[in-house]
Amino acid sequence: MSKATHPHTLKLPREDNGLATSKAATRRIQGILPAFLENKIIEAEANGLVVPLDGSVESTVAAALAVDGIGADYVTGLVMPVQLNDEAPARTAETVASLLDIECHRLQLQPVLTAFQRVVGDAGEPTDDLMAMQNASERFRMACKYYVANTRNELVVGTVPRTDRLLGSVAKYGENGVDLSLFGDLYRTEIEALADALAVPSEILDHSPHPIKHTSATDAAELGVDQTDLDSILHFAIDRDYSAPEVADRVDVEQSVVERAIRWCAQTRHKRHTPPKPSMDH
């Protein structure tokens, strides 16, 4: 993949907190990402893009960039609610699709999850395990995205920010099961700045993350820092390889917060890499 598709390898204008959120930075990113999507469509000889829509800032920005890159006629939005409290975000997602004038399909996954629980039955631990069911839901969504993409010769666009990838705030083989990791190098704060540049409606920008879905926003709350500080911590610690004391001093947070964030990244490394395999002599 060329450097043009990796904002964090470019000399983007950065604020003192290390993040590319200035108008100059967002303008450059706004040019890079649609071109990246267009190039990948051409390389794959694909017919279009599938974008999962959940009412979040990330999925909204991804859909808008897809439209910028290849045109609304070639973008398919999928809204995939599972629980009752998915309904409000689902309606927001459908509004986004309507505003962007893209084809959109709602896939109601509760019956699928219910049937899955019935089939699995006693094979696993009790099925009221919330984390297990959340992970299963994300893997069903991944399967749906690929079923639609395969039948239409389209590519699946990922909407997970770098923040969530580094902290492991995703289901393994779930949200990261995509063809194109559009925000693989962009932190949540940077995507929010991009959303502002794209004039995303305020009701979406102000939309809090899904209450039962674990994201970097809930990680920030648990660490006792705001989202921007968390993204700065990750940028300096992971991208710039600063020591924990240096990061703490630069971001003005407790060193223990930095160490805990770094530890989360290390503990969830398995979610970002191919499964380990034994070494064999050839």
Q: What is the pLDDT of residues 131-185, one digit of tens each?
A: 888 899 999 999 999 999 999 999 999 999 999 999 999 999 999 999 999 999 9
Question: Residue 154 falls within a domain, yes or no?
Answer: yes
156 and 223 both lie in a single domain: no
Rounded Cα–Cα distance for residues 243 and 238 (Å): 10
Taking only the tens place, the pLDDT of each residue in 22-33 is: 999 999 999 999
Taking only the tens place, the pLDDT of each residue in 45-82 is: 999 999 999 999 999 999 999 999 999 999 999 999 99
How many CB atoms neighbour CB 265 within 10 A? 16
Question: Residue 281 falls within a domain, yes or no?
Answer: no
Nearest to 54 by CA among 99, 106, 105, 89: 89
pLDDT score at 6:
46
Best-predicted range by mean pLDDT (202-206, 223-227, 257-261): 257-261
For residue 100, pLDDT beyond 60: yes
How many CB atoms neighbour CB 18 within 10 A? 20
Across-strand partners of 157? Answer: 180
55 contacts: CB under 8 Å, gap ≥ 6:
88, 89, 90, 91, 92, 93, 96, 204, 207
33 and 115 both lie in a single domain: yes
Nearest to 63 by CA among 204, 189, 236, 173: 204
Question: Residue 278 falls within a domain, yes or no?
Answer: no
**Which CATH number fits the domain that encloses residue 171?**
3.40.50.620
pLDDT score at 210:
52
pLDDT score at 124:
62
Per the structure, how many domains does the chain have? 2
258 contacts: CB under 8 Å, gap ≥ 6:
233, 237, 244, 247, 248, 251
pLDDT score at 142:
97
Question: Residue 5 falls within a domain, yes or no?
Answer: no
* φ and ψ of 136, to 5 deg: -60, -40
pLDDT score at 204:
74
Q: Dihedral sign, CA of 102, 96, 160, 140?
A: negative
Rounded Cα–Cα distance for residues 200 and 60 (Å): 8
Strands 103-106 and 75-79: parallel
Rounded Cα–Cα distance for residues 10 and 175 (Å): 26
- 17 burial class (0-12, 13-18, 19+ CB within 10 angstroms)? middle
Query: 78-82, 113-117, 190-194, 229-233: which range is least confident on average?
Result: 113-117
pLDDT score at 219:
83
For residue 208, pLDDT beyond 60: no
For residue 282, pLDDT beyond 80: no
195 and 75 both lie in a single domain: yes
Across-strand partners of 105? Answer: 78
Rounded Cα–Cα distance for residues 166 and 276 (Å): 18
pLDDT score at 211:
42
86 and 203 both lie in a single domain: yes
For residue 8, pLDDT beyond 50: no
pLDDT score at 20:
96
Domain that holds residue 190: 23-215
Please tell me the pTM assigned to this model: 0.90
Question: Residue 84 falls within a domain, yes or no?
Answer: yes
